[in-house]
Amino acid sequence: MTTLPFLLLILAVIVGYVLNRVAAKTIRDGGNRLHSMTSYHGMFSALLILVPVLTFILLWLVLRGPVIDGMVMGGLPDGVLVDLDSGGVQLVLAEIKSVSRGQVFGTPEDWKIAAADRFVILHQRADWLLIAAVAAISLLLMGFARSRVTADFRARQGVEGIVSGLMIFCSTVAIFTTIGIIVSLTYETFRFLEAVPLTDFLFGVNWEPQIPLREDQIAAEGAFGWLPVFLGTIVITVVALVVAVPIGLFSAIYLNEFAPRKLRSVVKPVLEILAGVPTVVYGFFAILVVAPAIRSLGQSIGLDVAPNTALAAGGVMGIMLIPFISSFADDALSAVPQTLRDGALGLGATRGEMMTTVLFPAALPGIVGGVLLAVSRAIGETMIVVMAAGLIAKLTINPLDSVTTVTVQIVTLLIGDTSFDNPKTLAAFALGMMLFLVTLMINIFALRIVRKYREAYD
Amino acid sequence: MNDMRQFERDVKMTNTKITARSVNVHYGDTHAIKDVDVDIADKTVTAFIGPSGCGKSTFLRCLNRMNDTIDICRVTGLINLDGKDINHKSVDPVQLRAQVGMVFQKPNPFPKSIYDNIAYGPRIHGLARSKADLDVIVEKSLRRGAIWEEVKDRLDQPGTGLSGGQQQRLCIARAVATEPEVLLMDEPCSALDPIATAQVEELIDELRQEYSVVIVTHSMQQAARVSQKTAFFHLGHLVEFNDTDQIFTNPQDSRTESYITGKIG
Q: Does A458 touch chain B (CB under 8 A)?
A: yes
Closest CA to A341 of A332, A351, A331, A327: A351
Residues in B touching A456 (Cβ below 8 Å): 111, 158, 160
CATH number of A223-453: 1.10.3720.10
Helix, strand, coil shares, percent, chain B, to 5 = 40, 25, 30
What residues of B are in contact with residue A365 (Cβ under 8 Å)? none
Does the pLDDT at position A145 exceed 50? yes
In chain A, what percentage of residues exceed pLDDT 70?
A: 96
pLDDT in tens, A75-123: 777 777 777 777 778 888 888 888 888 777 777 777 888 888 888 888 8
A197 touches chain B (CB under 8 A): no
Q: State pLDDT tens for residues B185-198.
A: 999 988 788 888 88
Range of the domain at B12: 2-260
Q: What is the ipTM of this complex?
A: 0.84
Average pLDDT, integer, range A313-328: 91
Contact residues, chain B, for A357 at CB < 8 Å: 110, 120, 124
* Cα separation, A285 vs A275, whole angstroms: 15
Q: Are B112 and A347 a contacting pair at CB < 8 A?
A: no
Q: Is there a contact between A348 and B174 if contact means CB atoms under 8 Å apart?
A: no
Is B161 within 8 Å of B126 (Cβ atoms)? no
DSSP sequence for B121-152: HHHHHT--SSHHHHHHHHHHHHHHTT-HHHHT
Contact of A265 with chain B, judged by CB distance below 8 Å, is answered with no
Does residue B113 sit within a domain? yes
Residue B265 lies in a domain: no
State whether residue B124 sits within 8 Å of chain A by CB: yes
Picking from B101, B112, B125, the nearest residue to A346 by CB comes out as B101
Residue B112 falls inside a structural domain: yes
User: Measured between CB atoms, which of B97, B106, B158 is closest to A345?
Assistant: B97
B179 contact A CB<8A: no
Delimiting residues of CATH 1.10.3720.10 domain(s) in chain A: 223-453
Q: A359, exposed or middle or buried, with CB in 10 Å at 0-12, 13-18, 19+?
A: buried
In a domain, B237, yes or no: yes
- The answer to whether B178 and B127 are in contact (CB under 8 A) is yes
pLDDT band at A320 (very low <50, low <70, confident <90, very high): very high
Does A261 contact chain B (CB < 8 Å)?
A: yes
What dihedral do alpha carbons A303, A304, A308, A313 form, nearest 10°? -30
Least confident of A209-218, A297-306, B146-155, B217-226: A209-218
Mean pLDDT of B98-110: 91
A–B: how many Cβ contacts below 8 A? 78
Task: Tell if the CB–CB gap between A350 and B174 is shorter than 8 Å.
Answer: no
Please tell me the predicted confidence (pLDDT) of residue B39: 92
Domain CATH code at residue B190: 3.40.50.300
Per-residue pLDDT reduced to its tens digit, A344-354: 999 989 988 99
In this structure, the strands spanning B237-243 and B229-234 are antiparallel
* pLDDT tens figures, A9-49: 999 999 999 999 999 988 888 888 888 888 899 999 999 99
Contact by Cβ (8 Å): B190, B218: yes
A-interface mutation test, from B108, B113, B168, B170, most A Cβ less than 10 A away = B108
Report B:83-102 residues touching A (Cβ under 8 A): 94-99, 101-102
pLDDT band at A391 (very low <50, low <70, confident <90, very high): confident
CB of A271 within 8 A of CB of A251?
A: yes
Q: Which residue of A has its CA nearest to B93?
A: A348
Residues A427-437 have a mean pLDDT of 90
What's the pTM value of the predicted model, to 2 decimals?
0.74
Average pLDDT, chain A: 86
